[in-house]
Amino acid sequence: MRTLWTVRAALALLLTACAPKPADVVLYNARVYTLSWAEPATDGTPAADAPFDARSGWRPDASAIAIRDGYIVYVGSDSVALSLAGEGTDRRDLAGATVVPGLVDAHTHVAEWGASLDRLDLTGVPDEATAIQKVVERAAAVPAGTWILGQGWDDGAWADRYPTRQKLSAAVPNHPVVLRGLHGFATWVNDAALAAAKITAETPNPSGGEIQRDRTGAATGLLLNRAVAILDAAVPPPTPAQQDSQIVRALRRMAALGYTSVHEAGTSAEVTAALERLATAQKLPIRVYAMLSARDPVLMRTWVERGPRTATGAPDEMLAVRAVKAYYDGALGSRGAALLDDYSDRPGVRGVAGETYGFDRSLVGAAMAAGFQVGIHAIGDQGNRDALNYIDSVFRL
């Protein structure tokens, strides 16, 4: 009898040792769409293996998920998922909520978004007067001399009626005001901001940019394309702590919206350094795939020599730096996109592109040779043609 019990005890211990570790979290009673079926046809018809039929539409293909050590270890039925639970498992009844794989945004500017959360939001303002009223209200709440930053007025929709400095300066004379357009290709400022940036009638247009001027040659308060960088350089930069806080705040909002990863397009040296600080301190709320700004030659040369920072797939690895964003031309609204023909309302104007818009062919090519993925901003038909020809020339080397 003692021998029999000894054998049974040993067998129990062996089975316990071989049993898988219980799941840390089990989500059940959900409508789970795994998105694991094949791609739809080119006309949008769902694949044959998709959980879909024409009569009843879409249906979930699972109801539960089990997670262990940061990995999803099971997707399927409630009964199987709950069988993987143990004494310390967090069991969550989702009461029929819909669950889909985490979203990935392939083109974001979360650093700018984080900064914009502290700025005036002009998204959707219908006209110049409404925007100025918002600036007046902000100016009344901060000391004189404080920079007032805003963004979101539609520089595409307003392209035929761009605002000027006169009314803005009259309403808010004692604060430098810088209002970025929704698409980032136009900036509207007042006299105080022009003075702070040292922009006068004698200031030349930068390569690939335009300081709009009146008949006397004075700046109107509207800067286009690469000229917006003049004002960006004049605005006091955030401290490293402020930069980190802004990025984390924006990423947390993305996480709350269901995003698990973002591709941050065109990171400056300061933003790249902030992302590395946050990754080292394990403070990035979601994964970030950083695309270095090709307009920063010092940053680019540093990373070309260093090589990409690739992600290994570990659950706690939140940052990859292995891509580059380059800019070949501008945007349509600001008449900066490079076109094959003249703009219909601007005879002789075909946009700005290539080296005049800050596209460094040799530096972008060196990044590609170093293993970086390069994405090129190209809007106009001429810009796209040139960008494709450039890529072809690099591959032929």
Beta partners for 267? 292
Q: What is the pLDDT of residue 38?
A: 96
- Render pLDDT for 46-81 as a digit per residue (tens, 0 to 9): 999 999 998 999 999 999 999 999 899 999 999 999
Evaluate if residue 253 carries a pLDDT over 50: yes
pTM above 0.85, yes or no: no
What pLDDT does 12 receive? 40
The C-alpha atoms of residue 202 and residue 137 are separated, in whole angstroms, by 33
Q: What is the mean pLDDT of residues 4-30?
A: 64
- The beta-strand segments (E) located in 100-227 are 103-108, 120-121, 148-153, 177-181, 186-189, 209-213, 219-225
Cβ atoms of 114 and 47 closer than 8 Å: no
pLDDT band at 18 (very low <50, low <70, confident <90, very high): low
**Whole-angstrom distance, CA of residue 224 vs CA of residue 185:** 6
pLDDT tops 60 at residue 5: no
pLDDT digits (tens, 9 = 90+) for 70-120: 899 999 999 999 999 999 999 999 999 999 999 999 999 999 899 888 889
At residue 13 the predicted structure's pLDDT band, cuts being 50, 70 and 90, is very low
Of residues 63 and 11, more confidence is placed in 63
Tell me the longest C-alpha to C-alpha distance in the chain. 109
Using the predicted structure, report yes or no on whether residue 9 has a pLDDT greater than 50.
Answer: no
Q: Each residue of 273-331: pLDDT tens digit? A: 999 999 999 999 999 999 999 999 999 999 999 999 986 667 678 999 999 999 999 98
pLDDT at position 185 is 85
d(CA 22, CA 69) in angstroms, rounded, equals 10
pLDDT of residue 357: 84
pLDDT (0 to 100) of residue 86: 95
pLDDT-based confidence at residue 16 (cuts at 50, 70, 90): very low
Please give the average per-residue pLDDT across 242-247, as a whole number: 95
Q: Is the pLDDT assigned to residue 184 strictly greater than 90?
A: no
pLDDT, the chain, mean: 91
- The rounded percent of the chain whose pLDDT value lies above 90 is 79
Q: How far is CA 225 from CA 120, 135, 219, in A?
A: 21, 23, 15
Q: Where are the beta strands (DSSP E) in the chain?
A: 23-28, 31-32, 52-53, 57-58, 64-68, 71-76, 85-93, 98-99, 103-108, 120-121, 148-153, 177-181, 186-189, 209-213, 219-225, 259-267, 287-293, 319-327, 373-377
Section 198-220 average pLDDT: 92
Percentage with pLDDT > 70 across the chain: 94
